[in-house]
Amino acid sequence: MAIVIAVAQQKGGAGKTTLAANLAVALAPGRRLALLDADPQRSLAHWHRLREANREAAAAFDFLEVAGWRLGIELERIARLHDLVLIDTPPEIDTDARQAVRAASLVLVPLQPSPPDLWAAEGTLRLAASERRPARLALNRAPAGSRLRAAIESEIAARDLPVLASVLGNRAAFASAFASGLSVLEAAPRSPAAAEMAALAAEVAALAG
């Protein structure tokens, strides 16, 4: 059975879909990987359509769109055929998100360094805890040297919330790559953004086993 990683956050705009896309590219080499879009906004599906037309796309993986009552059934089927399954979940705690979290080996909760993102992330952490699934916050779009970032990191540490050591900066390279159907690892492999993504992917891989 596959390792399942659910990328979940009930607040929109935290970078959930971009993180799922970049992780898929980073973790695909040497693995049978499936990337699943369970978000009704279908931003990940649009990214994948762009990717199919882009000759620079190097990493190969299976991509599926599924939601609603089929999600649980499809997850079981996909997990039997792959080593790793990544799920981009809806931006709210609903039935689909709960199913994805329930099936997960690891739940990643992206958040920008702001109080609203942290407050929203707490709901996702509670959901993961209620389903007895390990979870980690993933600090995303974090500006270097920001007082707000420092304050949020201090609050996370003070409350002993589970968080990845790797941080993704507020870098245009992520948005630019995504707009072309690529990962930052493919579009700008020598950039600081690519180095940050590689470090985060390695940490996630180690946590997920």
- CATH code, 59: 3.40.50.300
- Confidence (pLDDT) at 94: 67
Task: Name the domain count of the chain.
Answer: 1
> What residues are paired with 34 via a beta bridge?
62, 85
pLDDT at 191: 97
Residue 152 lies in a domain: no
Tokens matching residue 136: 């980690």
Checking if the pLDDT of 92 tops 80, the result is no
Q: Domain range holding 63?
A: 3-141+163-208
Residue 89 lies in a domain: yes
Domain for residue 90, yes or no? yes
Please indicate, yes or no, if residue 156 is contained in any of the structural domains: no
- Residue 169 in any domain: the answer is yes
Residue 69 has pLDDT above 70, yes or no: no
If you average pLDDT over each of 91-95, 119-123, 191-195, which comes out highest?
A: 191-195
**Minimum mean pLDDT range among 30-44, 55-69, 148-162:** 55-69
C-alpha to C-alpha distance for 63 and 142, rounded to whole angstroms: 29
pLDDT mean over 116-124 = 90
Residues recorded for the chain:
209
Q: Is the pLDDT of residue 41 over 90?
A: no
Q: Does some domain include residue 158?
A: no
Q: Residue 51 is encoded by which pair of tokens?
A: 């990717």
pTM: 0.93
- pLDDT score recorded for residue 96: 75
Domain assignment present for residue 153? The answer is no
Would you say 33 and 3 are in contact if contact means Cβ atoms under 8 Å apart?
A: no
Q: Which residue has the higher pLDDT, 201 or 76?
A: 201
Could you tell me the pLDDT band of residue 112, with boundaries at 50, 70 and 90?
A: very high
Question: Residue 93's pLDDT is what?
Answer: 67
Evaluate whether residue 127 is within a structural domain.
yes
